[in-house]
Structure formats: structure tokens, C-alpha cells
Amino acid sequence: MTPEKCYQQCIHADCRATFGVDQVLVACPRCGDLLDVVYDWSKVAVPAKLAVFAARWASRDNPLDFSGVWRFRELLDFCDDRHRVTLGEGQTLLQRNDRLAPYVGVKPGGLYLQYEGLNPSGSFKDNGMAAAFSHARMVGATRVACASTGNTSASLALYAAHCGTRAVVFVGSGRIAFGKLAQALEYGARTLQIAGDFDACMRRVKEATARCGLYLVNSVNPFRLEGQKTIMYRVLEGLGWQVPDWVVAPGGNLGNSSAFGKAFAELKELGLIDRVPRLAVINATGADTLDRLVNEKKLTWNGGHYDRQAIADDWAWQDATGRRPHTIASAIEIARPVNAAKCLRALAVCDGVVRSVSDADILNARAQVGRCGLGCEPASAASVAGAKLLVAQGVIDPAARVVCVLTGHPLKDPDAAVGYHTGQYPKGKEVPGERLYANMPIPVADDIDAICAAVEREA
Ligand SMILES: *Cc1c(COP(=O)(O)O)cnc(C)c1O
Ligand SMILES: [Zn+2]
């Protein structure tokens, strides 16, 4: 078969089966592995220079040019313009943050925060959802579903509301952050609270997809990951098309890190960049599957011949030992990351490393991000805590240019923030460890002398 301009392909080197982009698949029908969207670049009109993409941003009257996803459309050219869905996603910020740099341990001028909390639903997921909904429209899907720790459901619900598509979201009972649940309900998604954790929801939504004919937008959907590549295009754009030394991202289901690796591999192949950055993927210690697979079990991509059995064995070991993920960073509270294999590939492409950070480190880092002027939800701060750890370990050079991806908005999880500052966590969210930057509210009598005394008091 002659490949088209764009097709789906199984990632495993022993299989490599190809399928058309008009097919709706969440796994390779032949071997069950993950699928990629692959382009025949000789058939795509990719601009010779990345700067062409930035120039489009000025034309605010064309929603596709204004979108932080679709102004890069030649780099994810799997559908026609008439299918492309946009809500104005990707108007995000790469902020040089000299105040946070000393906390991380890099020199002022070296630390950048890619703030994806500015997306329409408040997390990076909107980048992926714009792409997934475009594919859904292309194939005529009418009911869209996901399993979610929260942000995927918020994003799905918003895009479904925008497109007039029916939405069903599967969330684990009691685990979802309040801001995210509020969004799913507010945007009108049918919200199923499954009695189980995220991994249980993921299993069930896959079964339901097959049985009830739902279009699945979890990150096993390869079209969704195409949208998330653009986060890295915007990082490069924010740096004047220079490549940073490090990109540091939290790792949950590992869709983002996988998409970042694919983005850099493709840009390099196209000759649009001359080197790739190094990638650090940061787990929470309570959900550290990738860390274990890479650092203990020494799993590698191995040119696509990665050890599938080792991953299956780890899942079986989790079952046998009754191991359950637990972290306050609910967005990365995932023990069976569906994109583990693609993440191994990204680590190979970007000479990557994996680390875990504790909940206490995550929350202290999150409080620092807040004090230094942006704020983020707990999972996002794993990137900052991870960068700090890697500098301390001598892996990241203090003189390096480091980009930490802030994946979600601070208001997504107000319980975690108020809990940290007051010490009064909601049940099940207590976090051990020192709250180094707690900012306690001060009770004051309704009395002007007492108020002025409180205003003047030394911190
Ligand atoms: C989904 C999510 C993550 C995890 O991203 P993966 O692509 O699943 O690794 C991290 N942070 C936030 C805020 C998220 O919503
Ligand atoms: Zn296959």
C-alpha cells in the first residue's frame, strides 16, 4: 500500500501496521500497541522557516491563524480546514522568571515557565482537545468520551459544548479536584463517577467505547497528541526559535512528554531545528511507575523493540501487591500510564531523564510558583520541584536554559492551596512534611486598632 500524505501507524517495530486517518482506533488492531499519526513530509507544504508560523498570529480575524494549535497546522496536517475546531486555545505564555530561578538553582535569565493554565479550560489539555475534536468532526463522531483525573473531562466538556457534541466523562469517585469537577458539570457533560481510581476509569471507558460506540479522546487517541506538540512549538517561538537546554514536564499518563518528543523528532527531521533539548519527566513519589520502569528496570525504547512484557509484568505486580497510586497532585495520580511506550521513545529522542518528587516538595514548589507571580495546580509544580532536584543532583547545569511546563491553572485545585496555607486539608488530602511557604490567614477583630496592628505586624 502506498502511504497517503498522512496515516496512522503502530509504534512497535515488530508490527508497524498502517491505517488510514479516517479510521477511529485507540490501539493497533493487529497487536494492541499504541498508534502514531505519521506524515509523508514530501507531500506536506511545510514552511521553510518556523518564523512563518509566528507571523500568522497577527491575523486575529482568522480563528485558525489565531489558534495556538492551528497556526502550526502544516505540522499536524491530518484534516482539512473545514474540520478544524478551535476555541482560541494555546494563547499561552513563555515567561522568563528570574524570581523563581534561585529557588530552582539556575542562574537568573535561565528559567522559563510555559504557562498552559491560560488555555480556555485552564489546562494544556485544550491543545489536544482542539485536535481530537477536529478528528472527531472529520469522522462524524456524535458522542465523545474520556476517563479523567479532571482536566481532560473539563476540556472535553468545553469543546463538546462548543461543538454541540454529546459528552460523557468517567471520573474516579472522590479523587477529582473541585475546580475540574465544577467545569465538567457546568459545561454539561454527562459525568459518571466510577467507584474506583483513574486506572479503573480508563479500563472501563475503553470497554464502553467499544460497546456503546463512543469516540475516545484520552491520550491513547493519537490525534489528540498531535495538538499537544504545539506546546513545544510555542516554547521555541517564545525563545525566538532557539532550542532550550531542558524541558521539564510532569508525567501522568505521559501523553504530553510523548507529544513533546514527537514534536522535536519531527522538527529535527524537517531541518527546522538543529538539535533537540533534553527532556525531564517528573513523577510524584506516590505514582512513580515511569521512574521505576526507567531507573530500576532499565527499560528503554530500543529502536521500537521495547520490552512490552516488562510493562505487563509491572502492571501485574501492582495488581498482586495491591499497590495504588496516591498523591495530592491528582492530575498525575496514575499508576498505569497508557503512553509509557511513547514516553520511552521521547526519552530516547531527547536524551531524557525521569525523577520522582514528594508531595511536600510539590506543594512547596507550587507555593513558590505562586509567590513568584504565576501560580499553578499541584501536578504542574512537579516540573519545578523536579528541575530543582535535577540541579541539586548536578544533572541540570545551573547555567542551562530550562523550561518548566506549568500544565494547569492554580484555581483548578483550591482545596490543595487553602489546605497548604492553613494546614487544614480536606479529608484524604493531608500532606505530611513541612509547609515551608505557608501564608496563614490572620483572624482579626472588627476593630480598626486591631486591623492596623495586624497590617503593621512584622511577618
Ligand atoms: C493531564 C495533566 C498532567 C499529566 O499529563 P500527561 O500527559 O498525562 O502526562 C499534568 N498536569 C496537569 C495539570 C494535567 O491536567
Ligand atoms: Zn501493531
**Using an 8 Å Cβ cutoff, are 311 and 293 in contact?**
yes
Q: What is the mean pLDDT of residues 383-394?
A: 98
Cell of 391: 540541579
What pLDDT shows up at residue 3?
Answer: 60
Indicate which atom in ligand 1 lies nearest the CA of residue 256: 7
Closest residue CA from atom 2 of ligand 1? 331
Ligand nearest to the CA of 36: 2
Q: What is the pLDDT of residues 426-453, one digit of tens each?
A: 777 777 789 999 999 999 999 999 999 9
Q: What is the pLDDT of residues 232-289, one digit of tens each?
A: 999 999 999 999 999 999 999 999 999 999 999 999 999 999 999 999 999 999 999 9
Residue 37 has pLDDT above 80, yes or no: yes
Distance, in Å, from the CA atom of 277 to the CA atom of 249, rounded to the nearest integer, reads 13
Cell of 62: 482568522
Q: What is the mean pLDDT of residues 24-44?
A: 96
Question: How close is the Cα of 110 to the center of ligand 2, in Å?
Answer: 42
**Using an 8 Å Cβ cutoff, are 94 and 186 in contact?**
no
Distance, in Å, from the CA atom of 120 to the CA atom of 408, rounded to the nearest integer, reads 11
Ligand nearest to the CA of 19: 2
Question: How close is the Cα of 221 to the center of ligand 2, in Å?
Answer: 15
Closest residue CA from atom 14 of ligand 1? 331
Closest CA to 391 of 103, 108, 114: 103
Indicate which atom in ligand 1 lies nearest the CA of residue 377: 13
Q: What is the pLDDT of residues 331-344, one digit of tens each?
A: 999 999 999 999 99
Ligand nearest to the CA of 304: 2
Q: What residues line ligand 1, using a CB cutoff of 6 Å?
A: 123, 125, 151, 219, 250-256, 331-332, 377, 379-380, 407-408
Closest CA to 195 of 174, 216, 218, 169: 174
What pLDDT shows up at residue 196?
Answer: 86
Q: What is the mean pLDDT of residues 150-164?
A: 96
DSSP letter assigned to residue 119 = S
Residue 48 has pLDDT above 60, yes or no: yes
Indicate which atom in ligand 1 lies nearest the CA of residue 281: 9
**386 phi and psi, to 5 degrees?**
-70, -40
Counting ligand 1 atoms within 8 A of each CB, the residue from 332, 334, 366, 413 with the most, and so the one to mutate, is 332
**Using an 8 Å Cβ cutoff, are 415 and 429 in contact?**
yes
What pLDDT shows up at residue 153?
Answer: 95
Question: How close is the Cα of 228 to the center of ligand 1, in Å?
Answer: 11
CA 454 to chain centre: 41
Q: What is the pLDDT of residues 309-327, one digit of tens each?
A: 999 999 999 999 999 999 9
What pLDDT shows up at residue 192?
Answer: 94
- Locus of grid cell 484534516: 79
pTM above 0.85, yes or no: yes
Residue 149 has pLDDT above 90, yes or no: no
Ligand nearest to the CA of 32: 2
**Using an 8 Å Cβ cutoff, are 8 and 19 in contact?**
yes
Closest CA to 246 of 405, 50, 406, 93: 405
Domain 93-121+224-418 maps to which CATH number in 2.60.120.260, 3.40.630.90, 2.60.40.420, 3.40.50.1100?
A: 3.40.50.1100
Counting ligand 1 atoms within 8 A of each CB, the residue from 123, 201, 202, 228 with the most, and so the one to mutate, is 123
Question: How close is the Cα of 14 to the center of ligand 2, in Å?
Answer: 8
Output the average pLDDT for the chain: 95
Q: What is the pLDDT of residues 167-179, one digit of tens each?
A: 999 998 877 888 9
Burial of 163 (0-12, 13-18, 19+ CB in 10 A): middle
Residue 1 has pLDDT above 60, yes or no: no
Counting ligand 1 atoms within 8 A of each CB, the residue from 253, 336, 354, 405 with the most, and so the one to mutate, is 253
**Three-state DSSP class for 413?**
coil
Distance, in Å, from the CA atom of 426 to the CA atom of 277, rounded to the nearest integer, reads 39
Domain boundaries, the chain: 93-121+224-418
Please give the share of the chain, as a percent, with pLDDT higher than 70: 99
What pLDDT shows up at residue 298?
Answer: 98
**Using an 8 Å Cβ cutoff, are 233 and 247 in contact?**
no
What pLDDT shows up at residue 418?
Answer: 92
Residue 372 makes CB contacts below 8 A (sequence gap 6+) with 97, 99, 100, 103
Going across the sheet that includes 190-194, the strands are 190-194, 166-172, 143-148, 215-216
Ligand nearest to the CA of 25: 2
Indicate which atom in ligand 1 lies nearest the CA of residue 258: 7
Question: How close is the Cα of 251 to the center of ligand 1, in Å?
Answer: 7
